[in-house]
């Protein structure tokens, strides 16, 4: 293997952060633990697939998507029930075969479907909202090596806005964590 | 192999018989998976694609022309005649929507059951679901007769101030099918986001980069994003599981809530769901067996995948066989003479041949899947999968045709489809295959990120994933 590459790419404007490349999932997992223990806040790992164990290695809390989806589901069920009750029992009652104007049993199947429909929208839109997506521009997507993040490489990016960021210390940490390819990313 | 660190648990390799066949053959690398799957989209359009696409578009045109003919002339162009007022339109609707069930089953139920082999087939099966539901969706719209009133099905304020009548299972069906379509699209699209990002990062031309970039929504593969993504995917799987079970149950309620012998049975919901999954897997096998060869994906859709799908087909086919037997038993046990007559008439009446097609294809054909050499022979599996599709069409045919001899012999009749019925049905294959072929050429037909995640190289605790000092020095 070649010696650690530490070419200091001259930054145009303020750099976005420092990017470190890793070749195996185990390497990035252990590096993430070191960055977490280093007390960094504004950083992330980038992997081609969801890497299990990385949430813990990064010290992430459980995702909050579930709450948004739950609200969607409750909203869907009540929408169904209230809509059917209001339409068939209040606004324009039609008597069919002597059945009650409103019965929660007859109204259940459409309400059940609406629960799932709204809950699913809650899950997808909640995921996008929590991830601040869609996003048309990202500094990393301009970086020439970053395309490998969706292929077979693993990256750790520490942003320059992190309170603990220091040009020398952060680089030293990432080198110590085993990265052989560390560069700056322009904003 | 690295020495285990002191204090850690020593793990020995399992004996040879217990080693599972890998889901990605030949220990392919994570990068190879991207290259191989993306090559189907990125390469030059192959000759077989055009050979399939041109007839598909022709059939699609036929279908649309016949729908135009139907709308301009009225449902008299179909073979509907008293007492069979629900002919091929409902048969084809139920058949297509049943096919759609395998996609959601694979993506949702197998996900919850942690069946990792689903990753090789889920994308194509979900696409199949969406296109099958589109084909199914045509029928309720056109069989209402006056298509321009189709919007009365939805709770939209009308000029008369009247609302849909929600005590009818046909209204439940509207909600079930439209929810099923929408949620299937959401689920499919969400699974696509990381893969569209893969395509964006690989794109050479500006147009491709822009289009994939737009639809991948700026996905970077950040772990903070994956964390939310995985949770949302789990929730969608959890929501789709009751959905897929409810959709065909509600479709079956269209029949079983009516007061007709042969239809008014409580076994219908589970029996319809089992039949739907059965036919869906039949169609997945019919599609993927040729595709894995022509797209060179044998290492990703392995014989083990086909073997496992055959087992699901065998299970659901046997459930369907049990339901047929139970229907007959109940017809006798109920002591209802109309019910009894309907079932004897189904098997030995004028449409008895349809009944025996159904039983042979749905109950006998899957029994071949008990044998491993059958499950491992892709040619035999492919031929049997076509019989599964035929058999499930006949199942709906038998159910709908039991209308032809109802209570009074004076009102008995006979039903035969017209050429319009037949060619509209054949034409829906045009819609299905046109959409499916376009899907193959524009988005990755296997979930790239998901397949990567199940390889040993992707596991940070596996030696191939760099564990135990293999990754960094």
The pLDDT assigned to B41 comes to: 92
* A182 touches B: beta carbon within 8 Å: no
The pLDDT assigned to B471 comes to: 40
Confidence of residue A2 (pLDDT cuts 50, 70, 90): very low
The pLDDT assigned to B9 comes to: 62
Contact B452 A49 (CB under 8 A): yes
The pLDDT assigned to B289 comes to: 95
Identify the bridge partners of residue A44 per DSSP, sorted by sequence position.
A157
Query: What integer is the mean pLDDT of A140-145?
Result: 88
More confident residue, B26 or A29: A29
Three-class secondary structure of residue A36 per DSSP: helix
List the 194-213 stretch of B: residues with Cβ below 8 A of A: 194, 197-198, 200-202
Contact A84 B166 (CB under 8 A): yes
The pLDDT assigned to B355 comes to: 95
Nearest to A27 among B232, B250, B472 (CB): B472
Three-class secondary structure of residue A39 per DSSP: coil
Q: Of B388, B399, B362, give the one whose Cα is nearest residue B261.
A: B399
**Set of chain A residues whose Cβ sits within 8 Å of the Cβ of B240:** 116, 120
Q: B203 to chain A: nearest residue by CA?
A: A147
First to last CA, chain B: 15
Nearest to B239 among A30, A110, A116 (CB): A116
Phi-psi region for residue B14, left (φ > 0), alpha (ψ -120 to 50) or beta?
Answer: beta
Alpha-carbon span B281 to B99, nearest angstrom = 8
Question: A52 φ, ψ to 5°?
Answer: -75, 135
Contact B155 A134 (CB under 8 A): no
Question: B144 φ, ψ to 5°?
Answer: -70, -10
Query: Where does chain A have alpha helices with state H?
Result: 25-37, 54-58, 65-85, 104-130, 167-176
Q: What is the mean pLDDT of chain B?
A: 90
List the 440-459 stretch of B: residues with Cβ below 8 A of A: 449-450, 452-453, 457-459
- Compute the radius of gyration of chain B from its Cα atoms: 25
Q: Count CB neighbours of B150 within 10 A.
A: 13
The pLDDT assigned to A114 comes to: 96
Burial class (CB in 10 A: 0-12, 13-18, 19+), A19: buried
Confidence of residue A7 (pLDDT cuts 50, 70, 90): very low
Sign of the C-alpha dihedral, residues A112, A118, A120, A122? negative
Whether residue B406 is predicted with pLDDT greater than 80 in this model: the reply is yes
Residue B172: CB partners within 8 Å, gap ≥ 6?
Answer: A109, A110, A113, B166, B250, B253
Distance from CA of A58 to the nearest CA of B (A): 9
* A98 touches B: beta carbon within 8 Å: no
Per mean pLDDT, which of B253-257, B293-297, B379-383 is the most reliable?
B379-383
The pLDDT assigned to B1 comes to: 43
Distance from CA of A62 to the nearest CA of B (A): 8
Query: What integer is the mean pLDDT of B21-43?
Result: 87
**What's the ipTM?**
0.90
Alpha-carbon span B202 to B190, nearest angstrom = 20
Confidence of residue B467 (pLDDT cuts 50, 70, 90): confident
- The structure tokens 């629900």 sit at B86
Alpha-carbon span B397 to B413, nearest angstrom = 16
Distance from CA of A106 to the nearest CA of B (A): 5
Per mean pLDDT, which of B82-96, B357-371, B395-409 is the most reliable?
B357-371
Task: Check residue A2 and report its DSSP letter.
Answer: P
Whether residue B472 is predicted with pLDDT greater than 80 in this model: the reply is no
Contact B164 A25 (CB under 8 A): no
Question: B22 φ, ψ to 5°?
Answer: -65, 150
* B228 touches A: beta carbon within 8 Å: yes
Alpha-carbon span B368 to B217, nearest angstrom = 46
> Between chain A and chain B, how many beta carbons pairs sit less than 8 Å apart?
231
Nearest to B235 among A69, A141, A147 (CB): A69
* A141 touches B: beta carbon within 8 Å: yes
The pLDDT assigned to B8 comes to: 58
Contact A150 B467 (CB under 8 A): no
Whether residue B3 is predicted with pLDDT greater than 60 in this model: the reply is no
**Set of chain B residues whose Cβ sits within 8 Å of the Cβ of A134:** 217-218
What are the structure tokens assigned to B357, written together? Answer: 């097609």
Alpha-carbon span B189 to B434, nearest angstrom = 19
Identify the bridge partners of residue A184 per DSSP, sorted by sequence position.
A18
Report how far apart, in Å, the C-alpha atoms of B140 and of each of A25, A60, B89, B307, B454 are.
Answer: 50, 48, 8, 36, 41
Question: A157 φ, ψ to 5°?
Answer: -120, 125
Question: B12 φ, ψ to 5°?
Answer: -95, 150
Contact A116 B240 (CB under 8 A): yes
| Residues B391-408: b if buried by 16+ CB within 10 A, e if exposed | bbbbbbbbbbbbbbbbee
Alpha-carbon span B440 to B127, nearest angstrom = 10
Report how far apart, in Å, the C-alpha atoms of B82 and of each of B10, B73, B410, B412 are.
Answer: 75, 19, 11, 8
Three-state SS for chain B is CCCCCCCCCCCCCCCHHHCCCCCCHHHCCHHHHHHHHHHHHHCCCCHHHHHHHHHHHHHHHHHHHHHHHHHHHCHHHCCCECCECCCHHHHHHHHHHHHCHHHHHHHHHHHHCCCCCHHHHHHHHHHHHHHHHHHHHHHHHHHCCCHHHHHHHCCCCCCCCCCCCCCCHHHHHHHHHHHHHHHHHHHHHHHHHHHHHHHHHHCCCHHHHHHHHHHCCCCCCEHHHHHHHHHHHHHHHHHHHHHHHHHHHHHHHHHHCCCCCCCCCCCHHHHHHHHHHHHHHHHHHHHHHHHHHHCCCCCCCCHHHHHHHHHHHHHHHHHHHHHHHHHHHHHHHCCCHHHHHHHHHHHHCCCHHHHHHHHHHHHHHHHHHHCHHHHCCHHHHHHHHHHHHHHHHHHHHHHHHHHHCCCCHHHCCCCCCCHHHHHHHHHHHHHHHHHHHHHHHHCCCCCHHHHHHCCHHHCCCCHHHCCCCCCCC
Alpha-carbon span A145 to B81, nearest angstrom = 68
Confidence of residue B466 (pLDDT cuts 50, 70, 90): confident
More confident residue, A144 or B58: B58
DSSP character string of A100-134: -S--HHHHHHHHHHHHHHHHHHHHHHHHHHHTT--
pTM: 0.90
Query: What integer is the mean pLDDT of B317-329?
Result: 93
% chain B with pLDDT above 90: 63
Nearest to A140 among B165, B220, B472 (CB): B220
* A2 touches B: beta carbon within 8 Å: no
Contact B167 A136 (CB under 8 A): no
Nearest to A46 among B176, B190, B220 (CB): B220
**Set of chain B residues whose Cβ sits within 8 Å of the Cβ of A174:** none
Q: What is the mean pLDDT of chain A?
A: 89
The pLDDT assigned to B407 comes to: 85
More confident residue, A86 or B152: A86
Alpha-carbon span A51 to A49, nearest angstrom = 6
What are the structure tokens assigned to B362, written together? Answer: 């749905």
Query: What integer is the mean pLDDT of A49-67?
Result: 92
Strands A43-46 and A15-22: unpaired
């Amino acid at each position: 293997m070649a010696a650690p590459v530490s070419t200091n790419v001259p930054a145009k404007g303020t750099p976005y952060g420092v990017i470190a490349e890793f070749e195996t999932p185990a390497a990035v997992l252990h590096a993430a633990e070191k960055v977490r223990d280093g007390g960094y806040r504004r950083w992330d790992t980038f992997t081609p697939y969801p890497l299990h164990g990385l949430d813990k290695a990064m010290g992430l809390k459980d995702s909050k998507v579930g709450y948004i989806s739950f609200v969607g589901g409750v909203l869907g069920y009540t929408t169904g029930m209230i809509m059917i009750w209001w339409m068939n029992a209040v606004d324009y009652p039609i008597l069919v075969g002597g059945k009650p104007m409103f019965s929660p049993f007859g109204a259940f199947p459409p309400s059940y479907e609406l629960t799932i429909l709204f809950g699913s929208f809650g899950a997808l839109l909640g995921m996008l909202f929590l991830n601040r997506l869609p996003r048309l521009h990202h500094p990393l997507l301009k970086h020439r090596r970053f395309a490998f993040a969706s292929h077979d490489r693993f990256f750790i990016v520490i942003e320059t806005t992190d309170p603990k960021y220091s040009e020398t210390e952060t680089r030293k940490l990432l080198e110590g964590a085993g990265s052989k390819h560390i560069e700056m990313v322009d904003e | 192999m690295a020495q285990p660190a002191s204090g850690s648990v020593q793990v020995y390799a399992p004996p040879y018989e217990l080693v599972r066949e890998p889901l990605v053959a030949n220990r392919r690398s994570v990068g190879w998976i991207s290259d191989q799957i993306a090559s189907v989209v990125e390469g030059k359009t192959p000759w077989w694609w055009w050979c399939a696409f041109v007839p598909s578009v022709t059939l699609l045109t036929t279908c649309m022309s016949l729908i135009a003919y139907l709308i301009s002339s009225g449902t008299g162009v179909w073979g509907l005649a008293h007492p069979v007022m629900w002919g091929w339109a409902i048969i084809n609707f139920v058949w297509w929507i049943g096919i759609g069930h395998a996609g959601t089953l694979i993506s949702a139920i197998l996900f919850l059951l942690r069946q990792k082999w689903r990753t090789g087939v889920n994308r194509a099966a979900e696409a199949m679901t969406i296109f099958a539901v589109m084909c199914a969706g045509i029928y309720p719209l056109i069989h209402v007769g006056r298509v321009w009133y189709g919007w009365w099905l939805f709770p939209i304020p009308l000029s008369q101030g009247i609302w849909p009548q929600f005590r009818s299972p046909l209204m439940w069906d509207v909600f079930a099918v439209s929810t099923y379509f929408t949620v299937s699209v959401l689920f499919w699209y969400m699974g696509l986001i990381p893969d569209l990002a893969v395509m964006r990062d690989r794109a050479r031309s500006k147009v491709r980069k822009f289009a994939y970039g737009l639809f991948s929504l700026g996905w970077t593969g950040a772990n903070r994003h994956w964390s939310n993504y995985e949770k949302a995917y789990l929730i969608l799987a959890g929501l789709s599981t009751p959905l897929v079970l409810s959709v065909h149950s509600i479709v079956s309620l269209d029949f079983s809530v009516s007061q007709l012998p042969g239809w008014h049975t409580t076994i219908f919901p589970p029996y319809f769901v089992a039949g739907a999954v059965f036919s869906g897997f039949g169609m997945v096998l019919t599609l993927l067996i040729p595709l894995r060869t022509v797209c060179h994906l044998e290492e990703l859709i392995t014989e083990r995948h086909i073997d496992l799908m055959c087992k699901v087909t065998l299970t659901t086919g046997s459930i369907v066989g049990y339901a047929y037997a139970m229907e007959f038993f109940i017809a006798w046990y109920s002591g209802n003479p109309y019910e009894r007559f309907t079932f004897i008439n189904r098997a030995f009446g004028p449409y008895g041949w349809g009944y025996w097609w159904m039983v042979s294809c749905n109950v006998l054909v899957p029994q071949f899947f008990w044998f491993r050499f059958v499950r491992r022979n892709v040619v035999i599996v492919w031929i049997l999968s076509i019989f599964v599709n035929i058999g499930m069409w006949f199942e709906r045919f038998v159910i709908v045709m039991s209308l032809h001899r109802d209570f009074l012999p004076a009102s008995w009749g006979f039903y035969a489809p017209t050429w319009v019925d037949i060619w509209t049905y054949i034409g829906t294959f045009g819609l299905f295959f046109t959409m499916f072929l376009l899907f193959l050429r524009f988005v990755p037909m296997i979930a790239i990120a998901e397949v990567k995640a199940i390889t040993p190289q992707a596991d940070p605790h596996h030696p191939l994933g760099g564990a135990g000092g293999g990754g960094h020095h």
